[in-house]
Amino acid sequence: MKPPTSDGTCVYSPDLPDGRIRLDSPAWFAWLSSASTTRFSYPLHDRRCGYISGFMTVRHEGRQRGGHYGSVYRRQGARLRRIYLGPPSAVTHARLEEVVATLLRERDALARRDAPRSPDTV
């Protein structure tokens, strides 16, 4: 089954009331805290070029000592990057956008590092 998907303002899924939930609303935090919520996709919107350059997966995971927390997963090359988000109350639009900025910075740094160098720049 396809996970719910966000456009950066709402999460969409046929299983949700009205098919969507607005981020940072009381319904959002209730949905994040529910046991049935396991993951959703969030866009990596690169504002410099004006389009979505991919998606990250936000997972709702249980802790060994009890409680739940969110983590972001994103593959960058051969590496799977995991970023801790915190409890459901910390998974806000602002926090997700911070993670997007971090992932885009890391992607750009990898691209610069792996870019071929011309002989005169050595």
In this predicted model, what pLDDT tens digit does every residue of 78-93 receive, in sequence order?
A: 889 899 999 999 999 9
Q: Is residue 119 one of the residues assigned to a domain?
A: no
Q: Is residue 25 one of the residues assigned to a domain?
A: yes
Q: Is residue 79 one of the residues assigned to a domain?
A: yes
Measure CA of the first residue to CA of the last residue in the chain; give whole Å.
Answer: 50
Domain count, the chain: 1
Answering whether pTM is above 0.85, one says no
Q: Is residue 54 one of the residues assigned to a domain?
A: yes
Q: Give the integer Cα–Cα distance in Å for 83 and 74.
A: 9
Q: Is residue 120 one of the residues assigned to a domain?
A: no
Q: Is residue 40 one of the residues assigned to a domain?
A: yes
| 23-44 confidence digits (pLDDT tens) | 999 999 999 988 888 999 999 9
**What pLDDT, on the 0 to 100 scale, is given for residue 30?**
92
Q: Does residue 97 surpass a pLDDT of 90?
A: yes
Structural domain of 80: 5-114
Q: Is residue 122 one of the residues assigned to a domain?
A: no
